[in-house]
Copies of this chain bind each other. A is one copy, B any other.
Amino acid sequence: MNTAAIVGVGLIGGSFALALRKAGFTGRMVGVSSPAAIRAALERGVIDEELPLEEAAASADFLYLARPVERIVETIRAIDQYVRPGTLITDAGSTKLAIVEAARQSIRRGRFIGGHPMAGKETRGVEQAEADLFQNRPYVLTGQDVVLEDWIERIGARLVVLTAEQHDRLVAVTSHLPQLISTALALLIAEEPDAARVAGPAALEFTRLALSPYEIWRDILSTNAESIDAALGVFISRLESLRSKLRSAALEEEFEQAKRAAQALRGLGGHQPV
């Protein structure tokens, strides 16, 4: 890789640029973004220069699309005519089916591999970018590519290869469901004027995701509605099952199972925080 172009220099795009640098990338780092983001990214040394999308696409041999899902789809539909043959294109979109399908239809000259780093914050913007954001976090790719896999590992992420379908079904449970739970719980707490007075660590932790911006979630929810709907259905029946056993000793087995599952989730990563 000689020239990398980051399209969308926000928290994720900016962090990926910083992570590439830290992992030994010595080429040119080009940014495509809003004037404010470009200014901040240049100031922090996240990118070397700004270019319009067409020129960035034409000069890069690596394109990293880090925008909301629908804007990634738009970019993919527009970009192929500008890229050089063989250009590696990947993205950081939160759902993969719509994006991979758009790439299948529109990317001819470049080669496209869908991606999704399982990292983030509730705060946005390149000001929040960190070279270590992907450390020990899963990084999903929807296909295999030696160059890209090598960089994913060099930035310290845990490579996971899945089909777009598998990815979208799994993140519906592990990521999209927690977001909706957090939103629903925050709405519930808002209805109880005194609830805020007794809110302990659990209430704070479980409403943290509710701070996330809707602009990002609109695309995620609409492009993965089917899997999220299914996950919500199973989750609600799990809750109803617990609800029916509140006074029963049968609850112990469910608590023990859940505990083992939560422990297994932590054992896997090794470096995950409790």
Contact = CB atoms under 8 A, between A and B. Distances in A.
A42 interface: no
A162 B262 contact: no
A83 to B, nearest CB: 29
Interface string A234-274: 11101110110011010110111111111111101100111
Nearest to A179: B202
A98 interface: no
A134 to B, nearest CB: 11
Interface stretch (A30-38, A48-56, A180-188): A180-188
A1 interface: no
Interface in A135-158: 137-138, 140
A24 interface: no
Contacts of A222: 246-247
Interface of A: 118-120, 122, 137-138, 140, 160, 162, 166-167, 169-171, 173-175, 177-192, 194-212, 214, 217-218, 221-222, 225, 228-229, 231-236, 238-240, 242-243, 246-247, 249, 251-252, 254-266, 268-269, 272-274
